[in-house]
Structure 1
């Protein structure tokens, strides 16, 4: 019984007495369904990933339920790391054998949507949280999400100091709106990293939008990612007008240019290979 998850709108950190605040882990959305003692795992878009994460299949409730959460993988320091969970996501389940020395995954559950054949989505969030706490058991691979009341900005500063992805803010009386992105109930506060000194645009895609970016290291430039979001139509027009004079080499699907155009960006974190995750254009640097 897959239930399409409620979505969030991005917002700056804030504090308000009618909201609770949770840390935002760096994994992917997971819908956990237990029917007749058997657990099925789904991604946000309804993809069945049960076979890929068999360590999560121990029954964790005496009743049928559907829960919402985040699937994360922990590095050697016990911190959640996006590239690790994606490595498991893209693995072949028939070749992958889980053991305690492999990539350690956890399901962190934060909402209960159905319990014992009862639809809980119309209930206030705090009631659903209470039912989750009372009925869903924790295991080494399944945890319940912790939260705080009111102190949203304090929590954001705490997770930011630990290089976590950010926070989530939710109205304590909000009902669960299936497959909807609300503007007042659920928010995500992303702990962006900013770079405005050494990002150079070194090329672009031909068929779809994408600007290749590099960082200057000594006399050389090292590729660090691709900008896919951020610039306005006017900024795109200005870029291509200048870039056509800087072309170094052209391929079927991409163009390489002399790296002289600088940009200010924000990005989430750094993934293996020192690539910047989700770089977003903010403005040109003159």
Structure 2
């Protein structure tokens, strides 16, 4: 089977990525035991690769789904991801309304392949935010970000590692030379004069940008 581990918020029914990471990072036996009770995980299955010794990967997706839906799963810690045919736009609107991360669109006749495929497309429900760029990493792409908190002070929110193209990089590093406020071994720090828009998966509980991607400068 192919699937992933999820921690589902019982109040919303939505998978909580941070809760999953909390489970993965637990090392001590007493913590693992406590989290098994307070943050139970579910293995959510979205495909089946083999059944009774038969390789199913070359079958169309719809046939694999039919086989998967006919199976009795081992217990309550397993679940099958539901699918909907022919209503992708309507489904995505529901994803947005519920604040979920996104969905995956798959061609009904697609085979299972162990690589990226044009037949399977992840559609992410991006959130957007405006940030100040307060520094950059010296050795590789990494722009430090911050936002104003309730008192008007800058609060760090993470680091941009994806998104800017050659033109944006050239413009950024050209402007940043004139607004350097300090540096250390790893970073050069800037006066908060450069603003940008980023897209991200969501805000974390700690107030950080999850997987931010640069989209544009704000001038």
On whether the aligned pair clears a TM of 0.5, the verdict is: yes
* Distance of 2:140 and 2:72 partners within structure 1: 45
Match of residue 219 from structure 1:
152
More moved, 217-226 vs 121-130: 217-226
In structure 2, the partner of 1:232 is 165
Distance 1:136 1:248 in 2: 62
Q: 1:115 aligns with which of 23, 34, 51?
A: 51
* Residue aligning to 1:271: 204
Report the Cα offset of residue 79 of structure 1. 2.5
Partner of 2:8: 74
C-alpha distance after superposition, 1:234-282 (max 9, x if no partner): 2111111111211111100111111110001111111121111011101
Is the CA contact 1:138–1:144 (under 8 Å) kept in the aligned structure 2?
Answer: no
Q: How far does residue 70 in structure 1 lie from its aligned partner after superposition?
A: 2.0
- Figure out how many residues of one structure are paired with residues of the other and give that number: 216
Larger helix percent: 2
Task: Report the CA distance shift for 1:172/1:98 in structure 2 as closer, same or farther (over 3 A).
Answer: farther
Partner of 2:121: 187
2:142 corresponds in structure 1 to 210
Taking the aligned partners of 1:114 and 1:193, their CA distance within structure 2 comes to 37
Question: How far apart, CA to CA, are the structure 2 residues paired with 1:76 and 1:116?
Answer: 34
Higher relative contact order (CA 8 A, sep 6+): 1
Q: Are the structure 2 counterparts of residues 94 and 101 from structure 1 closer, same or farther at C-alpha, using a change threshold of 3 Å? A: closer
Is the Cα contact below 8 Å between 2:7 and 2:42 reproduced in 1? yes
Instruction: Point out 4+ residue stretches in structure 1 off by more than 4 angstroms.
Output: none
Task: Tell me the secondary structure at the aligned position of residue 239 of structure 1.
Answer: helix
**In the TM superposition, what is the alpha-carbon distance from 1:98 to its structure 2 partner?**
5.3
In structure 2, what is the Cα distance between the partners aligned to 1:100 and 1:280? 34
TM-score of the superposition, structure 2-length normalised? 0.93
Matched with 2:65 is 129
User: Which range moves more in the overlay, 129-138 or 225-234?
Assistant: 129-138
Q: Contact 1:243 / 1:257 at 8 angstroms: preserved in 2?
A: yes
5+ residue gaps in structure 2?
none
1-structure distance, mates of 2:40, 2:187: 38
Q: Aligned partners of 2:137 and 2:9: how far apart in 1?
A: 34
RMSD, matched Cα: 1.6
8 A Cα contact 1:75 1:104, kept in partner: no
Unaligned runs of 5+ in 1: 1-66
CA distance in 1 between partners of 2:21 and 2:111 (Å): 30
Residue in structure 2 matching 1:89, options 16, 21, 24: 24
